[in-house]
Structure 1
Amino acid sequence: MTSAKEIEVRPIAKRDADALIRRVHYSGKVVRNSTLSLGVFLHGMLEGAMQFGPSLQKSNIVHLVRDTGWNGFLELNRLAFTDALPRNSESRALGIALRMIRKNYPHIEWIISFADACQCGDGTIYRAAGVLLTAIKINKDLHIAEDGSIIHKMSQITGRNKLQHLAATGGRWRGTGPTLEGHTLRYIYFLNPAARARLVGEPLPYSAIEARGATMYRGVRGKQAMAGSNRHSDGAAPIPTLQRQRGMENETRQATATDASEAAARESRPAQAAR
C-alpha cells in the first residue's frame, strides 16, 4: 500500500505548477505573481503543486504581525493535489514545504493563507498541519459575475479592469455582482517562533469555525460538512466544489505536467484542493 512517506516535494517551474493547478484546482485559476512553486511527486509523477508569493493586499496584511519586514512573509496562493496521492499526503507535503522555506529563506518569518469556505473548504489541511486560525470573516470579496463565474472584487476595482468597467458603464460603478454566500478563514504559520509573540490579537480556537457557522467540507456547509471533516481529518478526501456542483467544468481544462507527453497519456483525475 502506498504511503504518504513516499511523496517527494521539490521546486518546479511556475509553468508546470500553473498547468497542474488549472487542471485540478477548484477555481481553475492561477495567481500570476506567485514566486515559489513546489511540486509534489509520487513515483516520479507530478501529482500536486503549492505556490507561494506576495499577498494581493500586502500593505494591509504585513501589519498582522508587528515589526514584520516588507519581504518578511509569504502567502500560500494556491495548493492543489490529485487523487493519486495517498492519504495524509496533503498535510505532509505542506509540512515539508514550510520546512524548506524556513531553511532556504530565513528572512521569511511567517506564512499566511486563506481558506475559501464559500466554494471549497474551511481549511482542514491547514489545521492538520497545526496552522493558527486567526480570523473568520463573512465573505465580501467573492462575487458572481454575469456569466456565472466567480470573481474576486480586487480583480475588478483596480487597474485596467476598473478603467474598462467605467468605460463600459459611462463612468458609473455598477458593482461586481451578487456576493457569494459563505466565509473566508485566515490562517498563519510562524516559521520564526519568536514572531508569534508579535501577532496582533489572539488566534481563534478551531471550534470557532462551527460556532460561527463557517464549516465547509467537500463544498458542503453545516452538519454534513462536520461529518465529512471528522471522517477525513487529514484533508485527504476529494473536494468537489460549488463551482463544479453548478456545472462548471474547470476540471476538464487540459494541462501539462513536467513531461508533457507523460501528462497527456495520463487520465485526468478529480481535484483535491484546499485553496
Structure 2
Amino acid sequence: MADINVKDIRVKAIDAKSATAFIRRHHYSGKVVLNSQLHFGCFHGDRLHGVLSFGPSLDKSKVIGLVAGTGWNEFVELNRMAFDEYLPRNAESRCIAVCIRLIKKHCPHIKWIISFADGTQCGDGTIYRASGFKLTGVTKNSTLLEFPGGERIAATTLTANGNEPAAKAIRAKYNIKYTGSAAVKPYLEAGGRYIPGYQFRYIYLIDKNCQLTVPVLPFSYIDEIGAGMYKGQAVPVRDRKE
C-alpha cells in the first residue's frame, strides 16, 4: 500500500467497459453483475485503483419493502466493490462516502442504498460499518453454491439468469437440464452444496426522512451469534481492528 493522503483520491463516473475489466481482475469473485448501471472509479493521479458499481437489485420486489414508501426506482444496490492493493485501507470508506455524495447530487430520486457482505468468501462488512451503513440482516448462506470441481456460483445465477455463460458451463459440465425455473434441487443433486458462512445485509439512508421497516441490528450481534467473518474465515469482530 502507498503512503498517500486519502483526500488526494479522486472519485468519478467511468464507463462500464473500464469498470468491468477492473472488477474481473480485482474482485474476489472475478465476476461482474450484468445489470450494473452506474460505475465510479477511484483514482490516485491518473491511475485507477478501485471501482464501485451500482444497479437495481436482482429481485427488487424482495427488498423494496425494507424502507417504507419506496418507489420502484428510488433505491439502488452497491453490487460490486473492488480495490487493488495500492490504496490505504481507509480509502475504501472514503470512496463510498464520495460516491454517496455524487449519487445524491446527480441522482436525487435515489433515497437509499442496499448492499450485501459475503462472509463465505470475503467478510462481514467492516467497510460498510465504517461508512455509516446500518446492519439490517444476518443470515446463514443460502445463495452461494460450490460444485465438486471447485466452481462457486450464486444460486440465482443458475436459476434466474439461465443464459449467463457461467450458468451454461455448470449445466454442461454436470449434465444438468435447465428448466427455466427457480428450482435449486437439480444443482444440489449434481453435487452442489451451500458454502458454510453468513450473508450480511446493510442499508444506507441517503434521505434521512426514510423509515426502515426492519430493525437495525447492533454490530455486536455479529459476534453474539458467531457470524464474524474475514476473507471467508470465522474471525470475531472483536479480534480485528475495525
TM-score (norm: length of structure 1):
0.77
State the partner residue of 2:133: 131
Q: CA deviation at 1:146?
A: 3.4
State the match for 1:19 in structure 2.
21
Pick one of 211, 216, 235 that aligns with 2:224: 211
> Who is 2:186 aligned against?
174
Change (3 A) 1:8 1:139: same
Superposition map of 1:91-240 within 5 A: 91-160=93-162, 168-169=176-177, 173-176=185-188, 177-195=192-210, 197=211, 199-223=212-236, 226-227=238-239, 229-230=240-241, 233=242
Higher relative contact order (CA 8 A, sep 6+): 1
Q: State the SS of the aligned residue for 1:156.
A: helix
Moved over 2 A (4+): 158-173
Report the RMSD for the aligned CA atoms in angstroms.
2.2
CA contact (8 A) 1:49 1:81 kept: yes
In structure 2, C-alpha distance between the alignment counterparts of 1:219 and 1:226, rounded to whole Å: 17
Cα offset for 1:191? 0.5
Tell me the TM-score normalised to structure 2 length.
0.87
Count of equivalent residues:
227
CA contact (8 A) 1:120 1:216 kept: yes
* Matched-pair contact (CA < 8 Å) for 1:17–1:49: yes
Deviations 1:167-220 (A, max 9, x none): 84497952341110000000000010001x2x1121100001111111112332
The C-alpha deviation readout for 1:90-124, integer Å capped at 9, x for no partner, is: 00000000111011111100000000011110000
Is 1:38 the counterpart of 2:45 in the alignment?
no
SS of 2:52's equivalent in the other structure is strand
Query: For the residues of structure 2 that align with 1:160 and 1:27, how far apart are their CA atoms?
Result: 19
Q: Distance in 2 between matches of 1:213 and 1:45?
A: 39
Distance 2:4 2:161 in 1: 48
1:125 is paired with a residue whose SS is helix
Please tell me the residue identity of whatever aligns with 2:195. Answer: L
Identity across the alignment (%): 43
Counterpart Cα distance in 1 of 2:221 and 2:136: 10
User: For residues 152 and 74 of structure 1, do their structure 2 counterparts lie closer, same or farther at Cα, with a shift above 3 Å needed?
Assistant: same
